[in-house]
Structure 1
Amino acid sequence: MVTLLFAVFAKAQHTPVVPSTFVVCYGKVYPSQLSGIELAIVEPGHYDEKGVKRLKATGARILAYLSLTEINTAHPKFRRLRSYCVQRNENWNSYYIDIGNPAAQDILVEHAKDLMKLGYDGLFFDNLDNTNLWGKLSHQQQELEYLVQRLRDHFPKTTFVQNGGFHLSKETQNKTDYVLVESVVTTYDFKNQRYLIRDYEDFLQRLALIEKYQQTYNKPVLAVEYQKDNTKHKLIRRRLEGFSTSVFITTIDLQEIPKQG
């Protein structure tokens, strides 16, 4: 998502508390489902201001999903952003956004402001890895970093969770409070629609990279693993024992909150 220079690199203004339990769900979440949950990342299209208030009344911190480099065709801002889209993502029926275009960035910032007016405790930044070396927007890393800077300037005390984004600069890493990592133990075969457990060596390599990142930036880690077979939950959690993180196990569509084994 022109070389852009940052005048000020401000670190998040508060120390994040590591949640012992968290969920990510893009289907509609009801307050009764958040019993014992400390942090929930939700799809904001399901809630108005009263709905957000009801979720927050459970005691959980409620964060709104915000994709910074892609937009789904069902998104309320899709019509306005369609002319700034450059390619389709066939896996998710979404489009990559040319975030080097100032008008596209303005729409995304405006959307973030609209979400925060509803009372959310923070924002979850998705699809950052589209700007890494292998991403469709690999040439727009600096533009993405500028967008994150803009959002931090607008919301200096808001909780930001980044999904991946290990490739981003140190200055940008210091603007978010948590990092979410996906599929450390598990993986999903989109072609054959199969849930898999990674080879142990593959798992160890991924874990080592995440631990190095955690040590470098001293940032709390949230881990999401994808698995449909509940009997494998113990294996997933056992592999992550000793790693300082909260773990949520769910299905690839993220439409429900499965029972955690």
Structure 2
Amino acid sequence: MALGRRLLAITLAIMSGGTAWAGPFPTGPLGGVKTWAVYYGAAPETAAELARFDLVVLDPTRHPPLNNVKRHGALLLMYVSLGEVNIHSPAYPSIATEPWVLAPNPNWPEARRLDPRAPGYERWLLEQVVPAALAGPVNGLFLDTADTPMELERAEPARFGGATEALERVLGALHRAHPRALLVLNGGLPLVERSRPMLAGVAVESILTDYDFKAQRYRARAPEAARERAAALRRVTALGLPVLALEYAPPDDAGWTQSLIIKTREAGLIPYISTIGLDKVFTQTLR
């Protein structure tokens, strides 16, 4: 099929720079993780499937019963957004009128971008959001959307200069406040390089795949773009961190999904394949 041929072309283009994207064999608290899942729904019946994974990422405000998810020893990380806040989040009303709450994310209209340089941002995150996420039998945090303020800084350095340094400071403060919490940064690869001692792992999305929000279509990423993402990833994986890879594919395309799993594992990454909403549990990577 066309998608399969394009995926092969992407893989060959990436692999031309080396046989694997990952670096040294990962060690540390996530060194034994072979499977993982991300699920932002709350259906109680999903707990049995989630319990089969080594590591599970959930939404702290709505999720299946946590003790059921952890009954076989799964590590549990709760989602925390560093660079955006959803207007339906319980943490949003208290900051809705703050000047550091910025315009919506065009791809996610219900998400408001945040300016991490503001003192009020750090207080809100560390005193309200993080403690709520770590309540209960939780092992750590899955830190998302660091790329949002970093991209604002790249696009408008005069207006948003210092955003990356601010995120680094916030990560340091978070780590000092909760030294036993496992921190996994999703994206934000330049920040990973600067914050390596604080992190247990890194997650990356859509190296091989892409999602067209306007057309609402899954597609293979262009080979050159995939190669650029893989090159950035190599710099990070050289640090020896486990890499959790999240790719998106249509739920009814088993062939494409299996190809993604194989190619990601060959690269030394830990795959999970889902739909863009992350509201269902897919178990193909358990096979």
With the shorter chain as reference, the TM-score category is 0.7 to 0.9
- Give 2:134's match in structure 1, choosing from 95, 113, 116: 116
Label 1:169 to 1:257 Cα distance change in 2 as closer, same or farther (>3 A).
closer
Label 1:235 to 1:202 Cα distance change in 2 as closer, same or farther (>3 A).
farther
- Give 1:156's match in structure 2, choosing from 179, 182, 188: 179
Q: Quote the offset at 1:201 in angstroms.
A: 4.1
- Give 1:82's match in structure 2, choosing from 71, 83, 96: 96
- The one-letter amino acid of 2:38's match is V
The residue aligned with 1:105 is: 122
Label 1:149 to 1:225 Cα distance change in 2 as closer, same or farther (>3 A).
same
RMSD: 2.1
Structure 1 residue ranges without an equivalent (≥5): 1-13
Label 1:220 to 1:247 Cα distance change in 2 as closer, same or farther (>3 A).
same
Question: Are the counterparts in 1 of residues 202 and 243 from structure 2 also a CA contact under 8 Å?
Answer: yes
Q: Distance in 1 between matches of 2:208 and 2:74?
A: 26
Equivalent positions of 1:45-194 (< 5 A) are 45-47=61-63, 51-84=65-98, 85-92=101-108, 93-110=110-127, 111-133=129-151, 134=154, 138-139=160-161, 140-168=163-191, 170-194=193-217
1:88-146 per-position Cα deviation (integer Å, ceiling 9, x unaligned): 11322110123222122111112211222322110010001113244689531111111
3-state SS, counterpart of residue 37 of structure 2: strand
Q: Distance in 2 between matches of 1:143 and 1:212?
A: 22
Q: Distance in 2 between matches of 1:226 and 1:102?
A: 36
Question: Are the counterparts in 2 of residues 186 and 197 from structure 1 also a CA contact under 8 Å?
Answer: yes
1:158-191 per-position Cα deviation (integer Å, ceiling 9, x unaligned): 1111001112274423211111000011111111
Structure with the higher helix share, 1 or 2: 2
The residue aligned with 2:246 is: 224
Question: Are the counterparts in 2 of residues 40 and 61 from structure 1 also a CA contact under 8 Å?
Answer: yes
Label 1:203 to 1:42 Cα distance change in 2 as closer, same or farther (>3 A).
same
Q: Quote the offset at 1:250 in angstroms.
A: 0.3
Question: Are the counterparts in 2 of residues 132 and 167 from structure 1 also a CA contact under 8 Å?
Answer: no
Q: Distance in 2 between matches of 1:109 and 1:196?
A: 37
Question: Are the counterparts in 2 of residues 123 and 161 from structure 1 also a CA contact under 8 Å?
Answer: yes
Question: Are the counterparts in 1 of residues 122 and 170 from structure 2 also a CA contact under 8 Å?
Answer: yes
- Give 1:39's match in structure 2, choosing from 22, 38, 55: 55
Q: Distance in 1 between matches of 2:207 and 2:164?
A: 24
Label 1:257 to 1:169 Cα distance change in 2 as closer, same or farther (>3 A).
closer
| 1:16 matched to 2:30 | yes
Q: Distance in 1 between matches of 2:155 and 2:38?
A: 23
**Aligned residue pairs: how many?**
245
TM-score where L is the length of structure 1: 0.86
- Of structures 1 and 2, the one scoring higher in RCO (CA 8 A, sep 6+) is 2
- Give 1:249's match in structure 2, choosing from 270, 273, 278: 273
Q: Quote the offset at 1:17 in angstroms.
A: 2.1
Q: Distance in 1 between matches of 2:160 and 2:259?
A: 35
Structure 2 residue ranges without an equivalent (≥5): 1-27
Q: Distance in 2 between matches of 1:47 and 1:232?
A: 29
The residue aligned with 1:7 is: none
Q: Distance in 2 between matches of 1:259 and 1:124?
A: 20
Label 1:187 to 1:170 Cα distance change in 2 as closer, same or farther (>3 A).
closer
Q: Distance in 2 between matches of 1:57 and 1:259?
A: 17
TM-score where L is the length of structure 2: 0.78
